[in-house]
């Protein structure tokens, strides 16, 4: 077997050409006139196999968890002291007699037990029928179609902005630990962490919308105007920034701690002892190993992003699912409330799965289920 330029050259053995493993992969070999592709192996193949197992395990957990969450929604809503019929009738409830109220309750399916209502709702889901929203007086599918895109737009932009800002500020503070910049960033993050999201949202409206009048305070567009790209962007700026800021503290402090811990690692000490420049040490030895923990932290913050989006949408009257969650919970709108809760649960599970899978692919040493 000859070795040329760092590669293992092919050799002829008993009438066929064989090649050995190169860089962790088996290259094609010719045996009796046929090309046989050997099974690839190595860290990347093992990582893909582990990701497949991770996805299978998480899906196996997601199905019973989704059933349990939907059951809990119906059970807790049924235990509420409020009558959903009163919420449905609103101010006109006093004009109905008890007989009329009983007939209306039977027609709307409110006379069934919570388990019977849940079973009927699940049967509708199987056949693609999401039910009728009592709070919005329209099909649940239509409520989702009208409001889900706006929530996805707000959440995706705010999440991306928070991720980029946290990556820059957290890495910067971690690499400059103990210095003035680190103290300023860490202190600001701790202060923001102690401020409730609704207080931050109301403060942003007071300062930037009411006092300075730089940005609009609510809605998707100006009163009486048609929805356009320009007006949407202008109304989107303040909610996106405030929602991103509510997610920054944990992400910044978490990445700062990870980077600081990486600076004390043996590999970094060895690189510094060999005289490698600081830029090389930071960008090749410290920051790469901090990516996977940072992604895991981002996945763990998804529930907070959903809760923060609900608060921001309510404060800014944004036409997303946040207001629908509040309205359906207030009106005990079982079909809409259960579906929104189930949807939020699935989004959180899928987000955590994506973050853990990315971490395993980046660093095969990570045990995502550990």
Angstrom distance (rounded) from CA 211 to CA 146: 32
Q: Which of 252, 140, 101 is nearest to 185 (CA)?
A: 252
Q: Which residues pair with 47 in a beta bridge?
A: none
What is the model's pLDDT at position 91?
A: 62
Question: Length of the chain, please?
Answer: 370
> What is the DSSP track for 196-212?
-HHHHHHHHIIIIIIIS
Q: Which of 162, 159, 163 is nearest to 151 (CA)?
A: 159
What is the model's pLDDT at position 54?
A: 81
pLDDT tens, position by position, 79-113: 877 777 777 776 666 667 777 777 777 777 777 88
What is the model's pLDDT at position 283?
A: 84
Q: Which of 284, 272, 256, 265 is nearest to 175 (CA)?
A: 256
And the tokens for 281? 């040490």
Q: Which residues, including other chains, have CB under 8 Å from residue 234's CB and lie 6 or more apart?
A: 215, 216
The sign one gets for the Cα dihedral 196, 197, 202, 206 is positive
Angstrom distance (rounded) from CA 207 to CA 82: 38
C-beta separation of 130 from 140 below 8 A: yes
> What is the DSSP-derived secondary structure letter of residue 85?
H
What domains are defined for the chain? 3-36 (no CATH), 138-330 (1.10.3720.10)
Q: Which residues of the chain have pLDDT under 70?
A: 1-48, 90-95, 224, 363-370
Alpha carbon distance, N-terminus to C-terminus of the chain: 44
Q: Phi then psi for 364, rounded to 5 degrees?
A: -65, -15
pLDDT tens, position by position, 298-331: 888 888 888 889 899 989 988 888 888 888 888 8
What is the model's pLDDT at position 24?
A: 44
- Residue 222: half-sphere exposure toward Cβ, Cα within 13 Å: 7
What is the model's pLDDT at position 3?
A: 46
What is the model's pLDDT at position 29?
A: 46
Q: Report the predicted TM-score, pTM, of the whole model to 2 decimal places.
A: 0.76
């Amino acid at each position: 077997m000859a070795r040329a330029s760092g590669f293992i050259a092919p050799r002829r053995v008993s009438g066929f050409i064989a090649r050995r493993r190169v860089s962790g992969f088996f290259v094609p070999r010719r045996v009796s006139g046929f090309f046989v592709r050997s099974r690839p192996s190595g860290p990347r193949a093992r990582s893909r196999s582990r990701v497949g197992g991770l996805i299978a395990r998480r899906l196996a957990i997601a199905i019973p968890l989704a059933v349990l969450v939907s059951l809990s929604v119906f059970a807790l809503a049924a235990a509420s002291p409020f009558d959903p019929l009163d919420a449905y009738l609103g101010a006109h409830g006093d004009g109905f007699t008890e007989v009329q109220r009983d007939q209306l309750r039977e027609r709307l399916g409110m006379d069934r037990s919570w388990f019977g209502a849940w079973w009927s709702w699940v049967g509708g889901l199987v056949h693609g029928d999401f039910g009728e929203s009592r709070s919005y007086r329209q099909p649940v599918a239509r409520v989702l179609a009208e409001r889900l895109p706006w929530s996805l737009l707000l959440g995706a932009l705010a999440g991306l902005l928070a991720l980029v800002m946290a990556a820059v500020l957290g890495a910067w503070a971690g690499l400059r630990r103990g210095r003035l910049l680190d103290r300023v960033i860490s202190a600001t993050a701790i202060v923001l962490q102690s401020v409730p999201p609704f207080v931050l949202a109301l403060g942003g409206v007071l300062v930037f919308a009411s006092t300075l009048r730089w940005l609009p305070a609510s809605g998707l567009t100006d009163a009486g105007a048609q929805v356009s790209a320009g007006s949407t962007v202008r109304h989107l700026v303040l909610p996106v920034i405030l929602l991103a800021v509510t997610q920054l503290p944990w992400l910044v402090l978490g990445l700062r701690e990870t980077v600081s811990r990486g600076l004390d690692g043996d590999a970094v000490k060895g690189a510094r002892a060999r005289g490698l420049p600081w830029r090389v040490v930071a960008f090749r030895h410290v920051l790469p190993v901090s990516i996977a923990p940072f992604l895991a932290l981002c996945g763990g913050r998804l529930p907070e992003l959903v809760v923060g989006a609900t608060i921001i949408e309510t404060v800014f009257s944004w036409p997303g699912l946040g207001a629908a969650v509040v309205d359906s919970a207030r009106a005990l709108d079982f079909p809409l409330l259960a579906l929104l809760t189930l949807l939020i649960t699935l989004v959180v599970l899928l987000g955590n799965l994506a973050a853990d899978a990315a971490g395993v692919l980046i660093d095969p040493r990570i045990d995502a289920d550990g």
